[in-house]
Amino acid sequence: MTIEDRQPRVMLLIPSASYRAPDFMDAAQRLGVEVVVGTDRQNPFNDPATGRIVALDFEHPDHGANQIEAFAVLHPLDTIVAVDDGGALLAARAARRLELPYNSVSAVEATRNKALLRERLAAAGLPSPTFEVHALLDDPRPQAARLEYPVVVKPLALSASRGVIRADTPEQLIAAIERAGRILTSPEALEECGAPLADRVLIEGYVPGIEVSLEGLLDDGRLRVLALFDKPDPLEGPYFEETIYVTPTRLPAAEQQRVVETAEAACRALGLVDGPVHAELRLNDAGAYAIDIAARSIGGLCARTLSFGTGMSLEELLLRHAIGAEVDSYERDARAAGVMMIPIPSAGTLRAVQGQAEAEAVSLIESVTISIHPGSRVVPLPEGSEYLGFIFARGETPEAVEAALREAHGRLRFDIE
Ligand SMILES: Nc1ncnc2c1ncn2[C@@H]1O[C@H](COP(=O)(O)OP(=O)(O)OP(=O)(O)O)[C@@H](O)[C@H]1O
Ligand SMILES: [Mg+2]
């Protein structure tokens, strides 16, 4: 049977810890595509009516790709979409086997290994901080004595700023390496990072400046910018908690241009050519620095800030791209929009969240979603990797949206024991 005879069949790779399953499933339903969910656990979803589910070996992408290949013999796949970082490498390997269009394995590998990312970007001549890998078994003192400060210590393959720690002195560096090393020994961190990358950390020169995030879509190597977000809270460490994202950016046009050119150059350097890109960049007088480039769309529930044309979600846009369906408009809704990822203020057991109705009553606030259940243990950065929830706002200006997010957050009270 050919694609013309049936609905396109999409395999969505959704790790069980992902926030993004419902939004992608909704988009698939609206589009009328047949979805097969590939995930890392048996039956993690309550609602079997939402689609077929297959458990795949995400940890060993070669084995996982075998499983997908075997599945596709009986149920041919038209495209594979990784909704998060966790499935990107598996998608690349499986797409290569099935000869489906996708980024190369080597390009995706560089987005999943921060040391490789630095090597490739520096080799292509992009503005780069100094960087070196430190093996956790080695004595950190000689390195600590030799380096110039400040630096940033980071695990090679964790996400959401987990284990990312700034150090201003040799003593702080030694403590940061120890702390990142301890984080890497936890079972979930080890699973996410993968054993071969969990015995070392990256030490980078600290790049000062403001930070923005670019949401893009690659089509045959061409980068289309879908949104540029400002991150108006200072991100100076020692931990790098993501909080507010607001689009459109308030950067002057020339600076925006520098951001876009750097992101394009970074994609070229890595060999990324197809599908979503989420890039984090820092800007200062020396230029635009690509801090992080991922072959996926924006994480958490943050994509809910975006809407294209007459109300298409980012997920629908990405699925349309993946199946080669027409996209009416890549124009983002003209209003300003923003999200606050609600940081975890302290470690303990979350007893209650109060003030949600008061926060939702703030003008321009669209919704407040609390994503952690009362009774759960909560852990702040750098050890933790979750948010308490998300606050969404939309309005005429980025300033008004940012102010609304802060006001709403101020009305929430977290009872953590
Ligand atoms: N060299 C650096 N200089 C200054 N700040 C940095 C540097 N590296 C990282 N940061 C800060 O730490 C944050 C997290 O770092 P990074 O994006 O590399 O890791 P991650 O967020 O854990 O990975 P991912 O984005 O894949 O989830 C960045 O957004 C940035 O604010
Ligand atoms: Mg990041």
pLDDT for 2 beyond 50: no
Residues 137 and 98 in one domain: no
In a shared domain, residues 85 and 141: no
Best of 19, 85, 164, 241 for a ligand 1 pocket test (most atoms within 8 Å of beta carbon): 164
pLDDT in tens, 123-167: 999 999 999 999 999 999 999 999 999 999 999 999 899 999 999
* Model confidence at 345: pLDDT above 90: yes
pLDDT at position 45 over 90: no
- For atom 11 of ligand 1, the residue with the nearest CA is 240
Quote the tokens at residue 399.
Answer: 């300033």
- The closest-lying atom of ligand 1 relative to the alpha carbon of residue 242 is 29
Q: Which amino acid is residue 379, in one-letter code?
A: V
What confidence score (pLDDT) does residue 219 get?
A: 96
Residue 241 domain-assigned (yes or no):
no
- Shared domain check, 143 and 88: no
Which residue type, as a one-letter code, is found at position 403?
A
Q: What are phi and psi of 105, to 5 degrees?
A: -60, -40
What does the pLDDT look like over 312-333, one tens digit per residue?
999 999 999 999 999 999 999 9
Residue 255 lies in a domain: no
Whether 48 shows a pLDDT value over 50: the answer reads no
Ligand 2 centroid distance, CA of 158 (Å): 9
- Reply yes or no on whether the pLDDT at 1 is more than 50: no
Q: Which of 205, 227, 257 is the last residue of a domain?
A: 205
- In a shared domain, residues 160 and 198: yes
Question: In DSSP terms, which residues pair with 279 in a beta bridge?
Answer: 214, 293
Q: Is residue 290 within 8 Å of 263, Cβ to Cβ?
A: yes
DSSP label at 102?
-
Here the CATH number for the domain that contains residue 353 is 3.30.470.20
Q: What pLDDT score was predicted for residue 352? A: 95
74 with 159, same domain?
Answer: no
The answer for residues whose C-beta is within 8 angstroms of residue 29's C-beta and 6 or more apart is none
Q: Is 324 a member of any domain?
A: no
* Residue 80 in domain: yes
Measured in Å, residue 159 CA sits from the centre of ligand 2 at 6
Looking at the structure, tell me whether residues 56 and 142 fall in a common domain: no
Domain's final residue, options 187, 205, 223 = 205
- Residue range(s) defining the domain that contains residue 405: 335-417
Which CATH number is 165's domain given?
A: 3.30.1490.20
Check pLDDT > 80 for residue 23. yes
Task: For residue range 203-254, list pLDDT tens digits in order.
Answer: 999 999 999 999 999 999 999 999 999 999 999 999 999 999 999 999 999 9
Beta strands, E only, 14-60: 34-39, 52-55
Q: Which amino acid is at 132?
A: E
CA angle at 55 for the pair 53 and 57, rounded to the nearest 5°: 150
Tell whether 94 and 136 lie within a shared domain.
no
Domain containing residue 75: CATH number:
3.40.50.20
* 137 within some domain: yes
pLDDT category at 349 given cuts 50, 70, 90 is: very high
Q: What is the mean pLDDT of the chain?
A: 94
* CA distances in angstroms from 395 to 238, 357, 360, listed in the order given: 32, 19, 14
Yes or no: say if 64 and 89 are a contact pair by the CB < 8 Å rule: no
pLDDT tops 90 at residue 3: no
> Measured between alpha carbons, how far is 398 from 375 in angstroms, rounded to an integer?
35
Q: For residue 46, name the pLDDT band (cuts at 50, 70, 90).
A: very low
Q: Tell me how far the alpha carbon of residue 110 lies from the centroid of ligand 2, in angstroms.
A: 14
Percent of the chain with pLDDT over 90: 88
Q: What are phi and psi of 227, to 5 degrees?
A: -165, 145
Number of domains in the chain: 3
pLDDT of 273 above 50: yes
Which among 280, 283, 381 is the best mutation to test ligand 1's pocket, defined by most ligand atoms within 8 Å of the CB?
Answer: 280
With respect to residue 415, please indicate whether it lies within any of the assigned structural domains: yes
Residues 60, 142, single domain; the answer is no
Please provide the size of the chain in residues: 417
Which of 103, 122, 141 delimits the end of a domain? Answer: 103
Closest residue (by CA) to atom 27 of ligand 1? 159
7 with 85, same domain? Answer: yes
- Do 99 and 149 have their domain in common? no
Q: Quick: pLDDT tens for 361-384.
A: 999 999 999 999 999 999 999 999
Question: 380 preceded by cis ω (within 30°)?
Answer: no
Q: Are residues 351 and 397 in the same domain?
A: yes
Query: So what's the pLDDT on residue 100?
Result: 94
CA 45–ligand 2 middle distance (angstroms): 27
In a domain, 381, yes or no: yes
Q: Is residue 51 part of a domain?
A: yes
Is 279 close to ligand 1, i.e. is its CB under 6 Å away? no
- Asked whether residue 99 falls in the same domain as residue 134, the answer is no
